[in-house]
Amino acid sequence: MKKYDLKLWTKAAGIRAVKTMAQTAVGLIGTSLVIADVSWPIVASASILAGVTSVLTSIAGLPELEEAK
């Protein structure tokens, strides 16, 4: 991980993870014909996994912090 202020990195990585989780949830919910057909445990599980993956990917670097320099 490049040297960043830990507070800024945590905030940027958290925002990116939440956005990724929301996009994953919307994508999975959108595959159901009606809201009653949504498998909520699968949506939650996939969204959490996407958030963890996003944070791990952020270790390689965040473009948001590169632009701030």
| Residue-level pLDDT, tens digit, the chain, 69 residues | 456 688 999 999 999 999 999 999 999 998 888 888 899 999 999 999 999 999 999 988 888 787 665
**Residues spanned by the domain of 53:** 6-68
**Domains: count for the chain:** 1
Q: Is residue 1 part of a domain?
A: no
What does pTM read for this prediction?
A: 0.82
Measure Cα distances from 57 to 17, 20, 27, 38, 48 in Å: 10, 12, 20, 28, 14
Q: Is residue 37 part of a domain?
A: yes
* HSE-CB for 65 with a 13 A CA cutoff: 21
CB 1 within 8 A of CB 13: no
Give dist(CA 43, CA 45) in Å, integer. Answer: 6
